[in-house]
Amino acid sequence: MITTVIFDMDGTVLNTLDDLAASVNYVLTRFGLPVHYTEDYRLFFGSGIRYALQCAAPKGTGEDMIDQMLPVFREYYNAHCLDRTGPYAGIPALMGILRNQGYKLAIVSNKIDSAVKELNAKFFHDFVHVAIGEREGIRRKPAPDTVIQALAELKSTTEEAVYVGDSEVDLQTALNAGIPCITVLWGFRDKKFLTEQGAAIFASTPKEVFDRIRQM
């Protein structure tokens, strides 16, 4: 029986694409590099900000430059992560229904831990009391560490948990943690790509997420 729902953040519960793209473009501009359209960033995010910067920077950009870019991104994004970010339609209602029916909820993300906690406190504090991002001592997804940590804090087990995400990273994270994954179709990836990555349980709306959970 499912008692615990672990959500990804970017592309799953929050539409963060505009602020993420603007922040990386700010960094690229600071370093004299060409910027990208917002839509280009859909495939850049999911594996942490270093990976996103590596994708956004011109081919051949050295890791030493990426190291210099990281603190610039963190400072800018921490100041601007709420400019245009907000929940996807129906997500707060879904979380409210789940909480009212006794489910325990968590958010795990490859975003910076401080940003994950700030965004969760801003938008979901009534529903989600465990929010975990990238930090020292916990490997980023697709390693299962954030999920395992969330389950420990919620006093839940893998047998009673389900993961909800929007990307191939989320699919692999759920697999590595040994829990099923519901893949949403409103996020950063399209259904064709996700199917090719092995996704099998889909939800087109938050209501369908609830329906899938109830069927497990």
pLDDT at 106: 98
Among 52, 80, 108, give the residue marking a domain's end: 80
* Residue 57 and residue 96 share a domain: no
Which CATH number covers residue 105? 3.40.50.1000
Within a 10 A sphere around the Cβ of 206, how many other Cβ atoms? Answer: 23
The residues with which 104 forms a beta bridge, in sequence order, are 4
Among 30, 46, 80, give the residue marking a domain's end: 80
* Residue 132 and residue 25 share a domain: no
* Residue 98 and residue 188 share a domain: yes
* Residue 129 and residue 65 share a domain: no
Q: Strand locations in 14-159, DSSP E? A: 14-15, 86-87, 104-112, 130-134
Provide the 3-class DSSP secondary structure of residue 26.
helix
* Residue 99 and residue 73 share a domain: no
* Residue 197 and residue 132 share a domain: yes
Among 61, 80, 99, give the residue marking a domain's end: 80
Which burial class, exposed, middle or buried, applies to 97 when counting CB atoms under 10 A from its CB (0-12, 13-18, 19+)? middle
* Residue 137 and residue 35 share a domain: no
Total domains present in the chain: 2
* Residue 75 and residue 100 share a domain: no
* Residue 99 and residue 166 share a domain: yes
pLDDT at 207: 97
Residue 127 sits at φ, ψ, to 5 deg, of -120, -35
* Residue 45 and residue 102 share a domain: no
Question: Which residue range(s) make up the domain with 57?
Answer: 17-80
Mean pLDDT by 10 residues, the chain (216 residues): 96 95 97 95 87 95 96 92 94 97 97 88 95 90 96 97 96 98 95 95 98 95
* Residue 42 and residue 140 share a domain: no
Q: Which of 200, 46, 21, 55 is nearest to 134 (CA)?
A: 46
Which CATH number covers residue 75? 1.10.150.240
* Residue 50 and residue 143 share a domain: no
